Amino acid sequence: MAEANKEGRFSSLASRFKKSDKPLHVRPPYNEDESLFSICVECIDKPCVEACEESIIRLDGDKIPFLNFETSGCTFCEECAKVCPHDVLVLNNKQFIKAKFSIDISSCLAWNGVMCSSCKDVCYEDAISFLGVFRPTIDMSICTGCGFCYGVCPPYSVKYEVYPS
């Protein structure tokens, strides 16, 4: 593909598919009862935010932590749970992030004739499989919801929603 055409295609896809405008409140791992996050409002120092080695824990408008996958993903380092003073995050709970990931085939480069494996390259779990070098899909029986694939996708074709929605 000619360089100019390729750039045009990338910018055209990127302009059509922006990251979601509305906040997606995927909460940190090590929590099994979503309702417990209401306690976070009373947690003055919010130590989980500082403890996160990937700096993906942010606070929503209600000062409740959520995961922002724009720049990185969760390594399940356990640090947020170790410092949580109110047992909202507890190490004994599963390392489960309640997010369901998928690939938008209408905008994904590899679904539209352009070689790209950015999502697969960062997936520690090898949860993304290609048909040859095209048509990637995410196997949600393997995916941990870590979010590393989200920010690296050039046209923002990796989507996620709170699970169960």
Q: Determine which residue in the list 13, 26, 28, 153 makes contact with ligand SF4, applying CB under 6 A.
A: 28
Structure tokens at 154: 């050039």
Q: Is 89 in the site for ligand SF4 (CB under 6 A)?
A: yes
Q: Determine which residue in the list 107, 149, 151, 156 makes contact with ligand SF4, applying CB under 6 A.
A: 149
SS3 assignment, position 103: strand
Q: Determine which residue in the list 13, 26, 56, 153 makes contact with ligand SF4, applying CB under 6 A.
A: 56
For residues 95 and 29, is the Cβ–Cβ distance under 8 A? yes
Rounded to whole angstroms, the Cα distance separating 128 from 158 reads 11
Kindly provide the b/e burial profile for residues 67-82, where b requires at least 16 CB atoms within 10 angstroms of the residue's own CB.
bbbeebbbebeebbbe
Q: Determine which residue in the list 13, 26, 52, 109 makes contact with ligand SF4, applying CB under 6 A.
A: 52
Q: Is 75 in the site for ligand SF4 (CB under 6 A)?
A: yes
Cβ proximity to ligand SF4: between 1 and 105 the closer is: 105
CB of 1 vs ligand SF4, minimal distance in Å: 27
Cα 84 vs. chain centroid, distance in angstroms? 22
Q: Determine which residue in the list 143, 151, 155, 156 makes contact with ligand SF4, applying CB under 6 A.
A: 143
Name the E strands within 42-163: 57-59, 65-67, 99-103, 128-131, 134-138, 158-162
Q: Is 48 in the site for ligand SF4 (CB under 6 A)?
A: yes
Rounded to whole angstroms, the Cα distance separating 148 from 70 reads 9
Q: Is 103 in the site for ligand SF4 (CB under 6 A)?
A: no
Cβ proximity to ligand SF4: between 75 and 112 the closer is: 75
Rounded to whole angstroms, the Cα distance separating 102 from 43 reads 33
Contact residues for ligand SF4, defined by CB under 6 A: 28-29, 39-40, 43, 46-48, 51-54, 56-57, 65, 73-80, 84, 86, 88-89, 101, 122-123, 125, 127-128, 138, 143-149
